[in-house]
Amino acid sequence: MDSNDVIADIKHVLYTKEQIQDRIAELAARIDEDYADRDLLVVGVLKGAVMVMADLARALHSHVTMDWMAVSSYGSGTQSSGVVRILKDLDTDLMGKHVLIVEDIIDSGLTLSWLKANLQSRGPASVEICTLLRKPEAAKVEIDVKYVGMDIPNEFVVGYGLDHAERYRNLDFIGTLAPHVYS
Ligand code: 5GP
Ligand code: MG
Ligand code: MG
């Protein structure tokens, strides 16, 4: 019988469940401090950010409201082009709100740079970014990210919301894929 074991597809674990949760708790403490006197709207970018959003929001002690956006980056293959289409927009009017965009990963930065400008044009009081992972070597645009979980090497990672062909999002850790997955 063919194995349906997800773990067999993982080459290397980059961050364990515990390491991710510890880092999210640290980010949440900083966010609580920074927004102590203001209500916060956290905006999760579907689908990758679902896990970070769920854990970060539960680690926060501040009053928050939550909303979601889905965007798709036009471009060939795995390369982000910077041309972004909104698949699902926010339900919330941003006028006067303090907004925190929550992302799984920043690669080229093109998607987020577009998204930040888009949200900023809607009249919010502030827009900041929180990302669990960032690949500094892959950056194509400079983007001011206030909260970064971990800087990682320029390698394709999966798990904890991040997919390869829609799989592996459900893993509670972050890792790289074994070569047999790609072939
Ligand atoms: P950017 O516009 O920053 O290049 O693209 C960011 C998006 O590309 C992420 O939200 C994610 O969907 C995808 N992406 C970039 N790097 C990785 C990676 O290492 N693993 C996975 N699964 N997705 C990635
Ligand atoms: Mg994402
Ligand atoms: Mg993906």
Every domain of the chain and the residues it spans: 18-153
Residues whose Cβ atom is located within 5 A of ion ligand 3: 163
Q: Is ligand 1 within 6 A of the CB of residue 110?
A: yes
Residue 2 has pLDDT above 80, yes or no: no
State which ligand 1 atom lies nearest to the alpha carbon of 79. 4
Residue 154 has pLDDT above 90, yes or no: yes
* Res 135: pLDDT: 95
Q: Is ligand 1 within 6 A of the CB of residue 158?
A: yes
Are the beta carbons of 115 and 100 closer than 8 angstroms?
no
- Mean predicted confidence (pLDDT) in 99-120: 95
State which ligand 1 atom lies nearest to the alpha carbon of 138. 4
* Res 151: pLDDT: 97
Residue 1 has pLDDT above 60, yes or no: no
Residue 114 has pLDDT above 90, yes or no: yes
Measured in angstroms, how far is the CA atom of residue 4 from the centroid of ligand 1? 25
**ipTM here:** 0.95
* Res 82: pLDDT: 72
Is 107 one of the catalytic residues? yes
Rg of the chain (C-alpha set): 17
Whole-angstrom CA distances from 4 to 7, 9, 103, 165, 167 are 9, 10, 29, 16, 12
Report which residue type is found at 164: H
Measured in angstroms, how far is the CA atom of residue 80 from the centroid of ligand 1? 8
Of all ligands present, the nearest one to the C-alpha of 137 is 1
The Cα 55–Cα 64 span in angstroms is 13
State which ligand 1 atom lies nearest to the alpha carbon of 168. 22
State which of 11, 74, 105 you would mutate to test the pocket of ligand 1, scoring each by most atoms of that ligand within 8 A of its C-beta. 105
Tokens of 87: 């698949």
Sort 165 into a burial class: Cβ within 10 Å, 0-12 / 13-18 / 19+.
Answer: exposed
Sort 105 into a burial class: Cβ within 10 Å, 0-12 / 13-18 / 19+.
Answer: buried
- Mean predicted confidence (pLDDT) in 143-148: 96
Tokens of 37: 């006197």
pLDDT per position as a tens digit, 42-93: 999 999 999 999 999 999 999 999 999 999 876 655 666 678 899 999 999 9
* Res 148: pLDDT: 98
Residue 111 has pLDDT above 70, yes or no: yes
Parallel, antiparallel, or unpaired for β 98-106 and 40-46? parallel
* Domain formed by 18-153, architecture: 3-Layer(aba) Sandwich (3.40)
The model scores a pTM over 0.80: yes
